[in-house]
Structure 1
Amino acid sequence: MTGFWHRCHSPGVCFRIIAIIIAALISSVPAFSAQVGVIMAAGGIPYYLAIQRVIEEELAKEKDVRAEMIIERPAPNEMAWRNATRRLVTLESKVIIAYGGGTALAAMAEAPDLPVVFCAAFDPAASGIVGANVTGVATKAPLFALVNSLHKISNYRKLGILYSSSEVDSVRQAEIVASLGGNVVKTDVKGLDTIFFPDDVQAVFLTCAGAVQNQQAITGIIERARAGKIATASVFAESAEQGVLIAMSVPAEEIARKTAKIVAGVLAGGRLSGAPLLSSGSRAELVINGGEARNLGFAIPSEILTQARVVE
């Protein structure tokens, strides 16, 4: 190094050369890998899949850490969620992303020392999802607006609600919809063989339950609705693209980006203690399946069309 300084006639040039060398050495240091555990419903819920895709895209932009996703898709019940959490702990996950309130509660109970970031949980505070090592992105779509739009389109006299008593978010949504009044019948869905429409319903409301929203269940629900000329509504906007008549939710991209930011902070060494619970922020998007409306014989009021995105 002494010889270098003797040969370098300009100290300013020498310092710039050294700075370039140091920067090159730093940039050549590979990002460290960290396991990110994910718990989402079995069977694939399109809304959750859309969120997960954007989360992975956002985390891939991080330069200092390479997130390696370990995705568990357990059955929608507490025991399965707890077992999934134990597997993620064994695989040395640094943080767990939990889709929905039920998975978050199970992960918190099974791994109290591991950071848990819930994603798209419905009204988490009311569900008891609080603690020093948990935060996430809350979403509470306006159920009244969705039910009101469903009624204006179908003029139903009796509404069926498909929910799961095993999932806290689904239970809460069913309670809210039932409290809006009218002739309402709830069906507790445990699996494909327990999905049925109560007699004489003209419309069916689909809560966020994994047993209701997974792709196989949605397909069966839509087939039955078409056969009976029954209007359907869902709390996930992506359901409309599958054939549900009307749906409403906060855009998946916004939920995903906020969730990814929290996870990136944890992987960078941050702590969740004292971290704020984030709201989804933006207005929920109303989506209508125009083809289903025509096939079922429903005319969409102009006041709803002006507020909605229409898919075919």
Structure 2
Amino acid sequence: MSKALQSLLDLLDLERIERDIFRGRSRFAVVPRVFGGQVAAQALIAAGRTVPADRFAHSLHAYFLVAGDPGAPIVYEVDRIRDGRSFTTRRVVAVQHGRPIFHLSASFQAYEEGLDHQAPMPEVPDPETLPTFEQMMPRHAEAYASPDMLERMLAARAAVDLRYVNTPPWGSVGEPREPRSQVWFRTAGKLDGPLDDPLMHVCLATYVSDMTLLDSVLLAHGRGGWAVGDVVGASLDHAMWFHRPFRADEWLLYDQESPSASGGRGLGQARIYTQDGRLAISVIQEGVVRVPRES
């Protein structure tokens, strides 16, 4: 296990203050605010730790209310909305400096058999044949908005082995393309010990899901994004459905597309597949995507 992954796992291992109150720290991000994937993953951890062990997260719906302060702790307050025969529902509010910054609702279900079908996995290159994020990033250094952007992006994603199937937005600035982006990802090392449980794998996938989902919005307009500085963006809301078991330390294909952008907002939707072709997760996110006046 890499030091970066261990650091991320420590970040997600929240401190329990009271029965339904947890406290978390923040970590380095590319932009000077708390990374949205971090607060979503921590909120889901908080919710999951109030749920019986035989119930697994099957969906979450979240709103990002205010940019988080990376220099201050985040308190997660869990509300036990419902404990039913098959489903358990939790609501979580993340609080900083006395005000809510994030809201999440999550549902958990006891395992049961049912109808089974899925959309097929698209044909893509094997992840081992693709360059790593560390190998790819220096190729586009001349496009970055600041001299330290390369170092910041590498540090922010060091806990994840992330491999783009096609050129990322900041590698094709000024060249509008089909609004579709595909990325293979897995954690930078295998999970073991007490944190190697289904909840942690779901939370790690939640963490990564906020990294690249709006790339497809940028591709449609030939924009490079926050790395280049030709758009200003932030996550607004985020929804995930967990269909089938998976491990975040094994390869997952993140197949992303954007059906629409308007009014200063862009919509991304995606499917996440295991390497053997099982549809594991569906994701939808809307985010602010504004063009700076000077560009």
Give the TM-score normalised by structure 1.
Answer: 0.23
Q: Which has the larger radius of gyration?
A: 1
Q: Which structure shows the higher strand fraction?
A: 2
